[in-house]
Amino acid sequence: MLVQQLSVPVTIGAAFGVFAVYVVARCIYDLFFHPLRNIPGPKKAAIWSFYEFYYDVIKDGTYIWEIEKMHQKYGPIVHINSRSLHIHDPEYFNTIYAGGGRKVNKELSAVSGYTFPHSTISTLDHDLHRKRRAIVNPYFSKKAIADIEPAIDERIDVLISRLAEAKGSTVDLACAFSAFTADVVTYHFYGSHANYIGSEDFKYGLKDALTVLLNLYNLTRFLPFPANTLKNLPLPILGLINPNFPLVVSAREDNKKMVLNYINSSDEEKSAMRALDPSVPAQEKTLDRLLDEGETIIFAGIDTTARTIAIGVFHLLNNKEVLMKLRKELEAIAKPDGQQWTTTELEAMPYIGVVQEAIRLTYGLVVRIPRISAQEALQYNSFVIPPGIVDPAQLE
């Protein structure tokens, strides 16, 4: 064959030449032939994702501020990469993040940075996403939470004991609450926990693994291959990428053992795990699917739920008047020693609204969440956005 007859330098040169031609052709297409070519914005932003890569990777996640400058110059709708628009208009929110009958898909670049491709959060298709949400929704019902109240209460007692032991010393409450939520969510999903609350200084590998993944997200979403591929690299190479990256693999192996224990358990024990319900399609119960879904649920508990508790406690401790008002309300429904309030009893308390306020003040992942109108064109002012084109909006 011709390729076999060429020398190595010539072959490499030819490969670079083909790649260069492709890049030039892609740039010409993005500038002059792309369906979004007439959308306002700097031309350099409309070419591939180079401009976005520069600000989000080289300049450490600052593209959001550059986009704000674009809006100041070009108006409420701007072109931020070859496939995506950004619309700064709160009134347009419900058009983009639509419910009901209109199908809105996720965009690949929004989830390609995640290392759990089989999870609900990484699911692109509208219909499949709804099906997967339906499988996990029962885990978060009031009845499901009421069923594990004894386990939650037990973990709270252990946490209080640990905090009492640390009296007089400094405690990182974000870590403490993260250990608590990690124990609760792993018990809820897998039927057991690793007693993260008992770890020294409330530090544990699973949280460090999540921190690694979040810190790498801005980079992994630009990789030319699935981010999940990184998990298959040898541990020494992972360690070179990030010293804590092997913790991600270690955490997944621990979760794998728990899932396999569940799969191999009795039918009665399996019934406690909604994902293994006989009514759930077989393709939704593969090992990779269960592992990926479990990781996202556990990581959400470790990160966002723990942060909500930490922020709520901070504001209570920082505002003694509010703290005393909450304590007075709790004292009014005090119970004998050893008895805990139920979720129903706490929800009936007017001032327990401090929980809602903590949720309001808390942030989740600070990322854009682009959506694609799969079947119908969208109209924004004089601009028509064709179906299948990304149209993310951010409220600022």
pLDDT value at position 78? Answer: 95
The pLDDT of residue 207 is 84
Q: Where in the chain are the domains?
A: 14-106+370-396, 135-361
Cβ–Cβ under 8 Å, residues 392 and 96: yes
Whole-number pLDDT of residue 320: 92
Rounded Cα distance between 213 and 242, Å, is 10
Whether 257 and 251 have beta carbons less than 8 Å apart is answered as no
Cα angle 29, 33, 38; round to 5: 120
CA dist 396 and 394 (Å) reads 6
Q: What is the 3-state secondary structure of 122-179?
A: HCCCHHHHHHHHHHHHHHHCHHHHHHCHHHHHHHHHHHHHHHHHCCCCCCCHHHHHHH
pLDDT at residue 274, as a whole number: 56
Q: Which of 287, 307, 302 minimizes the C-alpha distance to 116?
A: 287
- pLDDT value, residue 394: 38
Beta pairing class for 104-106 and 371-373: antiparallel
To which residue do tokens 């997200």 refer? 217
Burial (CB count <10 Å: 0-12, 13-18, 19+), residue 222: middle
User: Which residue's structure tokens are 């490499």?
Assistant: 12
- What pLDDT, on the 0 to 100 scale, is given for residue 152? 92
The pLDDT assigned to 393 comes to: 42
> From first to last of its 396 residues, what are the pLDDT tens digits of the chain?
544 555 777 778 888 888 888 888 988 998 999 888 899 999 999 998 999 999 999 998 899 999 999 999 999 999 999 888 999 999 998 888 876 677 888 888 888 888 888 899 889 888 898 899 888 888 888 888 888 999 999 999 999 999 999 888 888 988 999 999 999 988 888 778 889 999 989 988 878 878 877 778 888 888 888 888 877 788 788 777 777 777 777 777 877 887 787 777 666 555 555 556 677 888 888 888 888 888 888 888 888 889 999 999 999 999 999 999 999 988 888 877 767 888 888 888 888 888 889 999 888 777 888 888 888 888 999 998 888 765 444 333
The reported pLDDT for the residue numbered 391 is: 43
Euclidean distance between CA atoms 309 and 303, whole angstroms: 10
Q: Which fold has domain 135-361?
A: Cytochrome p450 (1.10.630)
For residues 306 and 193, the answer to whether their CB atoms sit within 8 Å is no
At 255 the pLDDT is 78
CB 183 within 8 A of CB 195: yes
Nearest to 188 by CA among 86, 286, 294: 294
pLDDT at 338 (0 to 100): 67
Where are the strands (E) in the chain, listed by range?
A: 77-81, 84-87, 104-106, 371-373, 378-380, 383-385
Task: Name the residue among 92, 103, 37, 36 with its Cα closest to residue 376.
Answer: 103
